[in-house]
Amino acid sequence: MMLQKVCLFLLCLFVTASVGAVGPASPASAVGELKPFPQQVSYPGILKPSQVTQAAMNQAVTAYYDYWKATYLKSNLTSLPGGYYVKGDITGDPDGFTALGSSEGQGYGMIITVLMAGYDPNAKAIYDGLFKTARAYKSSGNPNLMGWVVADSKAAQGHFGSATDGDLDIAYSLILAHNQWGSGGSVNYLQEAKKMITDGIKASYVTSGYRLNLGDWDGKDALNTRPSDWMLSHLRAFYEVTGDETWIRVIDNLYDVYQQFTSTYSPNTGLISDFVVGDPPKPAPEWYLDEFKETNQYAYNASRVPLRIVMDYAFYGDPRAKALADKMAGWIKGKTGGSPANIKNGYKLDGTAFGDYATAVFVSPFISAGTANPANQAWVNAGWDWMKNKKEDYFSDSYNLLNMLFLTGNWWKPGGSPVPEAPNLALNKTTVSSTVEGVGFESGKAVDGNQMTRWASREGNDPEWIYVDLGSVQQITGVKLRWEVAYAKRYKIEISSDSGSPEHWQEVYSTSSGDGGLDEIPLAPQAARYVRMYGIERGTPYGYSLYEFEVTGQ
């Protein structure tokens, strides 16, 4: 699949989601924002522009948002009434469609909108419209992800493969939305986030070596990766809402890859190439994946990296992020004589410029990187003055606004862990299944707590079943089924309290519209020793397959 120029179109409800002192917020709108703009957080160890007041910075953000919204936020899809999208050009092959936007733009728009809620009284309606589009234009490879192209055609919905960056931003925005509005409305933001994180992003993008690949069309053993996708603070938020240690392993590995890369190719600049390949990591060759010539340099993909790095220091205090941000900021200050207007739109890894003008998608992230060190106050001040009125195109303007939100403290850290969930009574308990596909797919794989292993039945048979023995009669309150691609369209949940082997099954839940992914099934508290998933009709030509079969209880 052809990729476009700038990255494949690139907690508790009441827990305080910010750190440091927070100034007065504007009145919440009728939908009841919990984190209304302006939040104006002061992050520990992070500078803000010091030559202007907080109120003036907030006003600059709202003025820029009004411009951005009027210019790029659209709801004119005849093929999806009520669906919003962020209008932006793409490069790459739209496969006969007229491309209007991308998953990259959708992710930017969803983060911006949720952070501007409270200032914009229509933010929630707009956000839900953006989410509607993200879900309608699902990826052809994994329906829990978004296809990378938005076009005004029903045929475009489900036609395109995905792009990693857009999905990471979309999933992260859902966590922000849960913090902003709660998840008790028409969209359960937290549940949607968890499903997308685990059944979409983890299932398709996390490689066996704990890198992030390029899309759901890419391999799980891939070594190629795009550093602009390394949204480290996003990944920490994923960990906080799922409790899945996979995300910590990915974070640690990406830091290792970055440090190995820079020690060899950019020890004096801290720069990284648009694409990284191999082990040990090295720059991708020129014209990688037919994107553009400079895929082996610091170009329009990698230009976004400094913001992604410094946010992990601002929000979570990781010293590795500070070290990288300080190196990049120190180098670019020296390169430009302390003048952000002298930044160019492209650098070789050794710091030699090949670009010829300053554009916000290069300038603003370098300003954000400078906030991690008090020696950079004049740099941050000059950068703010340069960027606050800079208006160019969809890509630069959207990323400029994200940096403005960070620099003013109006991109707040999402809340921590969700409310503690009921224990999983099925974990590592005895299981029995009707059939097994083969070695490595035994029934016990569904209760081992490892979301990379799975039980699979023989292909092509109905009905099939799997049950877990809780060991004794327990008070159960729900079931969670995390399906692999081979899911049940029609199935029921049954329980038994027999001693010995179960003989008398009682139906407690059934559905005929299963669609795979994560099924969270609440049950009225009741006694059971055995819990069974009884598959009646397959949703695919294959068999039935579960990554995890959980039983929650008291």
Q: How far apart are the C-alpha atoms of 494 and 490, rounded to whole Å?
A: 13
Based on the residue annotation, tell me whether 229 is a catalytic residue of this protein: no
Nearest of 356, 355, 369, 361 to residue 387 by alpha carbon: 361
| Strand, helix or coil for residue 553 | strand
Asked if residue 550 lies in contact with residue 467, where contact means CB atoms within 8 angstroms, the answer is no
Nearest of 6, 19, 84 to residue 45 by alpha carbon: 19
Contacts for 254 with CB less than 8 Å, ≥ 6 apart: 210, 211, 212, 230, 232
Nearest of 155, 175, 43, 61 to residue 107 by alpha carbon: 175
DSSP structural state of residue 289: G
**Residue 261: both structure tokens together:** 């890369």
Q: How far apart are the C-alpha atoms of 34 and 157, rounded to whole Å?
A: 33
Q: How far apart are the C-alpha atoms of 437 and 455, rounded to whole Å?
A: 8
Asked if residue 278 lies in contact with residue 356, where contact means CB atoms within 8 angstroms, the answer is no
Q: How far apart are the C-alpha atoms of 227 and 301, rounded to whole Å?
A: 8
Contacts for 512 with CB less than 8 Å, ≥ 6 apart: 489, 490, 537
Taking CA 240 as the corner, what is the angle to CA 225 and CA 172, rounded to the nearest 5 degrees? 55
Q: How far apart are the C-alpha atoms of 366 and 415, rounded to whole Å?
A: 27
| Strand, helix or coil for residue 248 | helix
| Strand, helix or coil for residue 57 | helix
The amino acid occupying position 217 is W
Asked if residue 45 lies in contact with residue 313, where contact means CB atoms within 8 angstroms, the answer is yes
Helix segments in 152-230, DSSP class H: 164-181, 189-195, 203-205
**Selected catalytic residue, list 165, 244, 318, 326:** 165
Both ends of the chain: CA-CA distance in Å? 49
Question: Positive or negative CA dihedral for 475, 478, 484, 487?
Answer: positive
User: Residue 209 burial by CB count (10 A; 0-12/13-18/19+): exposed, middle or buried?
Assistant: middle
Q: How far apart are the C-alpha atoms of 397 and 393, rounded to whole Å?
A: 6
Q: How far apart are the C-alpha atoms of 329 and 340, rounded to whole Å?
A: 11
Indicate the length of the chain as a whole number.
554
Q: How far apart are the C-alpha atoms of 548 and 194, rounded to whole Å?
A: 14
User: Residue 460 burial by CB count (10 A; 0-12/13-18/19+): exposed, middle or buried?
Assistant: exposed
Query: Which amino acids are annotated catalytic?
Result: 165
